[in-house]
Chains A and B, each alone.
Chain A
Amino acid sequence: MGGLEKKKYERGAATNYITRNRARKKLQLSLPDFRRLCILKGIYPHEPKHKKKVNKGSTAPRTFYLLKDIKFLLHEPIVNKFREYKVFVRKLRKAYGKSEWGTVERLKDNKPTYKLDHIVKERYPTFVDALRDLDDALSMCFLFSTFPRTGKCHVQTIQLCRRLAVEFQNYVIASRSLRKVFLSIKGIYYQAEVLGQPITWITPYAFAHDHPTDVDYRVMATFTEFYTTLLGFVNFRLYHSLNLLYPPKIDSQAEDELKPAEGKEYAMDSESYLERLSALSASLARAVAPTHEDEVEVDEFPVEGETAELMDAKKKEQEALEKHKKLFEGLRFFLNREVPREPLAFIIRCFGGQVSWDKSLCIGATYDATDPSITHHIIDRPPGTPLPRYYLQPQWVFDSVNAKLCLPVADYFPGVLLPPHLSPFVTEKEGDYVPPEKLKLLALQRGENPEEESEEEEEEEEEEEGDNDKEEEEEEDESEKEEEMKLQKMEEQKMEEQKTQSKVTAGKVRLEDKQRLEQEQQSEEKRLAIMMMKKREKYLYKKIMFGKKRKIREANKLAEKRKAHDAALKEQKKKNKKARQA
């Protein structure tokens, strides 16, 4: 037979992948440099379809990169910068060793630096791509901006993160694009909608971090390096899309108001500017003076049938959105000093409310606690001398934002047991468990007022309960009587049996429930059909059904738990009532 012998693993999947070590050797990089490069360039391992084939017959656990990706890295200018940096470090060390301070100075002046602009552009060819991937960048920047200025990473990084985070927050305020907020035990989740893209990020609660030892901060720092670059460019573009100045400038009018009295400045001008910006209380200066007839009137085209309905629905949605954006318009808030200032100020400003705080708490307070025009006072402890305004717990703000309407305030007074705080990110499908509070909320959104009904119901229930007690007692008596009757009957029967040993009893007519029969038949048909399924399909079917059943089981479990909890609560209430009566 002619022809060359075909060697194994020289074609097909095996040639498309490369192991990490081989990739590293090909790039001539150390592992940390390779890691850094992968992080910056967004290169990640791929899981091959046939691992054994790619692994040349071995089953050892290896990570594989696409060969194309690695080849693509070969041309990366940053790789050379890494090498230059390595040389620079070596030279510097040598100069230090020889105490040649002049050389040290010179070397430090010529320290090789690199820029990540082209990588950002390459990884996100369009702006929307960048927005889509902004979640992690924002979360990371917000985390880094809370780090202490010493230790874990460079101070410049932390300051830059803080600046970018504040800028983004200011953009969200200016564009009013915040949609959902959620107080979780991990931190505060925010969701904004920018150019139609939902962007979710999480910020930790404002406490000092207990820095874990098993976390590699170099990895995080590398990610942050890229994320800060990305976020900077995104911010620039976002600010320009709103005709805002970038770097942001506080509105000159607001600036005058904010400017502290002479001689009372507590920080340098450059520092206090960021502080004032991060106070989030002032609006930003625009490059072009805003004209109020900015909103473009949408031309209406004559449409028919379904499209018309669709358009109507869209219009309604738009209106709802506009309304949501102006949720707190006209309300004046005051934040007490124990509530988290930054998140609340951010949220309130995002929905058009005015907000202030104690002057000693932070820069940027615009009015005093005693201001009579304050409508809502956010407080998290028993209030002192009450003024004519609503004193509310901070959850009200969050719940109102999520409900897209100002919720009734009665449930949120200080000292009142708060209603549960529900996640706005959950949209219950059919068959899922829906907490009763959510149902109530949905009813409220539809414009019904479930409060009264529920109260009535409660009253009724209470009355019923009263009745029930009596009934129960009666029932107990009755049941005793019944038992006696039964016993008597049994005895009688026995007697009769003894009298007549064999007896023909009249046959009973068995009532056949037609519907049930039908159902049974159908289910049997289904069972039989399932028997005829192919093995693979049967496996899939069983898996899906298992998942469904588990879901139902979990939902039932939650419902049961709730029921038990409510029952226990009612019991408690009753007891209290009795105790009060007694």
Chain B
Amino acid sequence: MEQPSPSDGSAELGDSEECDSEECDSEECDTEECDTEECDSEECDSEESSVYSGLEDSGSDSDSPGSREEEEEEEEEEEEGHQEDEEEEEEGAPGSPSCPQTQAKGKRKSLEDDSPLEGKQDLVVHDEYEEDSSDEEDIRNTVGNIPMEWYQDFPHVGYDLDGKKIYKPLRSKDELDLFLEKMENPEYWRTVQDRQTGAEVPLSEEQLELIRRLQRGNFGDVNFDPYEPAVDFFSHEVRIHPVTNRPADKRSFIPSLVEKEKVSKLVHAIKMGWIQPRKPKENVPAFYDLWAREDPNSVLGRHKMHVPAPKIPLPGHAESYNPPPEFLLSPEEKLAWEQQEPSERRLNFIPQKFRSLRAVPAYSRFIHERFERCLDLYLCPRQRKMRVNVDPEDLIPKLPRPRDLQPFPTTQALIYRGHSSLVRTLSVSPSGQWLVSGSDDGTVRFWEVSSARCLRTIPVGSVVKSVAWNPNPSICLVAVAVDEQVLLVNPGLGDRLLVAATDQLLDSWEAPEEERIQPVRWIPASPEERGKGIRLLVQHDKPVTQVTWHGKGDYWASVVRNPGGRQVLIHQSSRRWSQNPFRKSPGMIQCVRFHPLRPYFLVASQRSVRIYNLLRQELTKKLQSNCQWISSMAVHPGGDNVICGSYDSKLAWFDLDLSTRPYRLLRHHGRAVRSVAFHRRYPLFASGSDDGSVIVCHGMVYNDLLQNALLVPLKVLKGHSPRLELGVLDVAFHPQQPWLFSAGADGTLRLYT
């Protein structure tokens, strides 16, 4: 049924030459078909064929492969149109072997329909009649325009008009046959296969010539001249006759209303200043001497507050492309660098080393860094910061050298061993010969200071909270706080006369006529206890935490752990008489002291120290300690200064004449301060702390009221090993010598000289 018009056939021929033959099977078939037809019509002379080819070109004047598809579509339509006529013709010559000719007829017919040039068609028609007499077999394939691969696996390639199978020609040629054919057949090179029928057809001379022409890129028609001189219809030359003879419109004679409207609008806009005439371009040089008349004094007021942006820090060795090897990061450092936050990094790049300048790549963050600088310049709040440019040595206060402030204890001289548990408290006899200590192992031990010998041990059965040696040198008496009792012990050490006198003093008490109600019970010791040295027992109703003697040695005070109730009691040992000085207790009382010179009584609660005048029975002063929790307190022998140790590791020095606030708050210790002590003769004070150290300070108090006390730390004495988070629990100075005793949690007492 294929009916390609000759023009299409030739056009496709050119195409098929150009593109791969595999791609366009059907097209090739077309070409072959038309080839067969042409070779059959070899009789017609070359002129005819040339005319023929010229015909096709002028008929469908599109050779470009781009428009080929359209053509094909047209083709198909045509084919459908012609199909009927063809069939008729075929019927006219059934079984005739000259199929190509009929084909040609059909084609020519189609040409007749297409071509506008009638004269030439006549020729063609004439030709047709001439060759009509053929009675060749028509082996036209009726499968239509389908891909011929569909018939690949069948022995036939389609059906002829009678519906009989058209068999493929025998393809039993092997390589040798092919070769032989190639060698023997002189037409071999111009033979092509007709896909539709499978027949092999040699191409004619004209066809070959056409192919060559198209290969060269020439027109298919030999006679076509593409370079004919062009004839301009509309040209620049003015013709004598007008193109059109139409008379002029009326509107070409009268002024335009639309234009008038437009102009008036523009005029109005100009009047109103909406449209501004084009400003003349100023011809000023872009740059000139801007600072020709600079006046350094004409600084704006704003510039006073100006904070110039700091310059970008200059690069160091590490940024070099070839840094010294020590500046390169080791793998661990690199890992650490990567894990750091970008803002935390000290270098914002990883140092790298390159063998030569040629190997250095572009820095990928260059634009970023410039951009960040820009952001810093306009977004970052600026502040003038005074950089402290001081020599750190200048910051250290100039203090007198400790060597010039001797004597003070410097070295550990003796260790008093014997207690099996932590030693809570110690006290030195006023003569400085004996030492008493109370421990958690339930004993009170008496030591000779100079030899570290334990002279007596009194078991008391419970934890000893506090011991205090009577400061009066003519009385040999020690107060020991155990549980709810305070024991008055005569150790029987030293001068026998003195010991006897003390006993006598205690025994000389006579019960008063009328019994007074006392907050405590005074119980004389049983003979057994007396043998141990205990003379009197003072029974409190709550556990006693501290005892302290008045300087004269008759009165003493005890602190009872009794929150909310009465906590402080003052006792007179000679009259065996006790009293409760306060109606109301101020918080939890930590520590009490008698003033060494005046009738004052100092009471330390958690945060503050109250000073009461015992004679006038009133509060004289309240010292704010600035500490969280006072642990201990000591009064300067001069009486005008007080120090407080606190559990938050501070030591507050109060000058009573100066203020109720501490004159100096010393943070020397690393842990809680447990006890503080003043020396009676030398300007020394010491503090013992849980960190196991005792710090001895020089605390010079001047008589001149205008001069403040001079505090100089002198020595850090270390010896006690901290145990159970406790270090030094009590410190005391020797009454005459610049010696220091300390009691520690490691069960020892130590003497520093």
Instruction: Give A contacts to B, CB under 8 Å.
Output: 35, 38-39, 43-47, 49, 63-64, 66, 68-69, 72, 106, 109-110, 117, 120-122, 124-127, 130, 132-133, 135-136, 139-140, 143, 182-187, 189, 200, 204-205, 207-212, 214-216, 219-220, 223, 232-233, 235-237, 240, 246, 338-340, 380-381, 393-395, 417-418, 420-423, 425-426, 435-437, 521, 524-533, 535, 537, 540-541, 544-545, 548, 558-559, 561-562, 565
Contact = CB atoms under 8 A, between A and B. Distances in A.
Interface stretch (B353-361, B558-566, B611-619): B353-361
A423 B397 contact: no
B711 to A, nearest CB: 7
Interface in B3-54: none
Nearest to B320: A421
Nearest to B314: A425
A182 B315 contact: yes
Contact of B327 (A127, A207, A558): A558
Interface in B278-297: 278-279, 286-291, 294-296
Contacts of A110: 276, 278-279
A532 B349 CA distance: 43
Contact of A532 (B378, B379, B712): B712
9 contacts: A44-B307, A44-B378, A125-B296, A127-B294, A132-B308, A189-B314, A219-B371, A380-B356, A530-B396
Q: Which 10 A-B pairs have the closest CB atoms?
A: A207-B362, A425-B314, A47-B383, A47-B381, A562-B326, A561-B326, A45-B381, A420-B324, A184-B319, A232-B287
A72 B308 CA distance: 18
Contact of B320 (A120, A182, A211): A182
Given A136-B373, A143-B366, A209-B367, A529 B399 contact: yes
A185 B324 contact: no
A544 B392 contact: yes
B504 interface: no
B251 interface: no
Given A46-B305, A435-B317, A562-B326, 6 more contacts: A68-B305, A122-B300, A126-B296, A205-B362, A422-B324, A423-B314
B317 A423 contact: yes
Contacts of A393: 356-357
Contacts of A532: 397, 399, 666, 711-713
A133 B388 CA distance: 26
B377 A533 contact: no
Contacts of B357: 183, 339-340, 380, 393-395
A553 to B, nearest CB: 13
Interface string B358-388: 1011111111111101110111111100001
A426 B396 contact: no
A545 B391 CA distance: 10
Contacts of B382: 44-47
Contacts of B296: 125-126
Given A72-B302, A207-B361, A220 B278 contact: no
Contact of B392 (A109, A143, A541): A541
A425 B318 CA distance: 12
B59 interface: no
B716 interface: yes
A537 B397 CA distance: 10
B186 interface: no
Contacts of A531: 666-668, 713
Contacts, number: 266
Interface in B309-350: 309, 311-312, 314-317, 319-327, 330, 349
A64 B382 CA distance: 10
Given A246-B287, A393-B356, A528 B713 contact: yes
A526 B402 CA distance: 11
Nearest to B275: A106
Contact of A548 (B322, B358, B392): B392
B389 to A, nearest CB: 10
A562 B358 contact: no
| Most chain A CB inside 10 Å of its own CB: which residue of B291, B308, B381 | B291
A186 B294 contact: no
Interface of B: 275-276, 278-279, 286-291, 294-296, 298-303, 305, 307-309, 311-312, 314-317, 319-327, 330, 349, 351-352, 354-358, 360-371, 373-375, 377-383, 388, 390, 392, 395-397, 399, 401-403, 666-668, 711-716
Contacts of A524: 716
A189 B374 CA distance: 18
A223 B377 contact: yes
Given A209-B362, A212-B367, A423 B712 contact: no
Given A186-B369, A339-B357, A526-B396, A423 B324 contact: no
Contacts of B365: 186
B274 to A, nearest CB: 10
Nearest to B328: A561
B337 to A, nearest CB: 15
Given A525-B401, A529-B399, A420 B322 contact: yes
Contact of B315 (A189, A246, A545, A548): A189
Nearest to B362: A207
Nearest to B292: A237
B325 A565 contact: yes
Nearest to B396: A529
Contacts of A437: 324
B290 A233 contact: yes
A183 B362 contact: no
A109 B323 contact: no
A126 B294 contact: yes
B323 A421 contact: yes
B374 to A, nearest CB: 5
Contact of B363 (A120, A127, A185, A215): A185
B752 to A, nearest CB: 15
B302 A127 contact: no
Contacts of A38: 378
B649 to A, nearest CB: 12
A130 B388 CA distance: 29
Contacts of A562: 324-326
A216 B372 CA distance: 10
A541 B395 contact: yes
A45 B380 contact: yes
A567 to B, nearest CB: 12
Contacts of B299: 125
Contact of A381 (B289, B358, B373, B377): B358
A52 B196 CA distance: 97
Nearest to A246: B287
Nearest to B369: A186
Nearest to A435: B324
Contacts of A135: 311-312
B325 A210 contact: no
A140 B315 contact: no
B381 A121 contact: no
B381 A63 contact: yes
Contacts of A435: 317, 324, 326
Contacts of B390: 540, 544
B370 A423 contact: no
Contacts of B356: 380, 393, 418
A204 B298 CA distance: 38
B315 A184 contact: yes
Given A47-B382, A393-B356, A220 B320 contact: no
A189 B278 CA distance: 47
A215 B362 contact: no
Residue of B316, B325, B349 contacting most chain A CB atoms (<10 Å) = B325
Contacts of B377: 39, 44, 136, 223
Given A46-B382, A215-B367, A526-B396, A425 B290 contact: no
Contact of A240 (B289, B303, B366): B289
Nearest to B713: A528
A420 B381 contact: no
B380 A44 contact: yes
A314 to B, nearest CB: 25
Nearest to B299: A125
